[in-house]
Amino acid sequence: MALSVIIPSRRAANLLACVAAIRAHDPDCGRILVVDDGAREGVERRRLDLGVEWVDAGGRPFVFARAVNHGIAAAGDDDVILLNDDAELLTRRGFTQLAARAREEGWWVLAAGVRGGVGNRAQAWRGRHAPIELEQVCFICVFIARDAIRRVGLLDERFIGYGFDDDDYCRRVRMAGGRVGVWDGCVVRHGRLPHTYSRTRDQFMLAQRLFREKWEREVANASPQA
């Protein structure tokens, strides 16, 4: 199974550093698909050829879930790694190893360990030699198996802000019988580069409300009728 690395990006400087880290540590990991939210103009202004494939983000306003879905579609039948453009690969052959471990052990979603900021503290790098199972992982750097995409589908584009689309996807995976986890055999640094996508408190509250209402409906619909 081939692998595609999907990077939604708005900031050219971030993208250059992100791709440089991949080239330095895992140059043969697979295709790099950049879902363009403005980074391409900055790269081309510098007259650089990153050797990436550019993918349209799907219109304005930018929606992270929609952008990722365009990247997943462009990846064809490949397994994918979703990577923030403010995350830098630190591990030699890290993405190749992350994909291999996930495939060998049947993980549908397997996140890399993170040095730096991460909303889920369980994803912080601790030198774990084996994956551990979690209910949810933040999508800073995460492998998603193509079989999971076939079974579960794409990210839910109703989450129009930045956040809770990953919580939702992990829950859907677990409900379909798949496993979600983290493994420190692949490590990324998160926080040295400026955040490209941030959210306001209002955006957070909206996404949280959408998540809660969606899953309240799911539970109600799944309940046996009296």
Predicted confidence pLDDT, tens digits, the chain (226 residues): 899 999 999 999 999 999 999 999 999 999 999 999 999 999 999 988 899 999 999 888 888 999 999 999 999 999 999 999 999 999 999 999 999 999 999 999 999 999 999 989 999 999 989 999 999 999 999 999 999 999 999 999 998 877 899 999 999 999 999 999 999 999 999 989 998 776 678 888 888 999 899 999 877 776 565 4
In angstroms, rounded to a whole number, what is the distance separating the alpha carbons of residues 187 and 220?
39
User: How large is the angle between the packed helices 64-74 and 165-175, nearest 10 degrees?
Assistant: 50
Residues 25-36 as b/e (b if ≥16 CB within 10 A, e otherwise) read: bbeebbbbbbbb
Residue 10 CA: distances (Å) to CA of 62, 87, 98, 195: 10, 14, 26, 10
In angstroms, rounded to a whole number, what is the distance separating the alpha carbons of residues 105 and 108?
9
DSSP character for 122?
G
All domains of the chain in start order, with CATH: 3-220 (3.90.550.10)
In angstroms, rounded to a whole number, what is the distance separating the alpha carbons of residues 153 and 148?
7
**CB-neighbour burial class of residue 93 (10 A; exposed 0-12, middle 13-18, buried 19+):** middle
How much is the pTM?
Answer: 0.93
- In the block, tokens 């990846």 appear at 75
In this prediction, residue 226 carries a pLDDT of: 43
Helix (H, G, I), strand (E, B) or coil at 161: coil
DSSP character for 56?
E
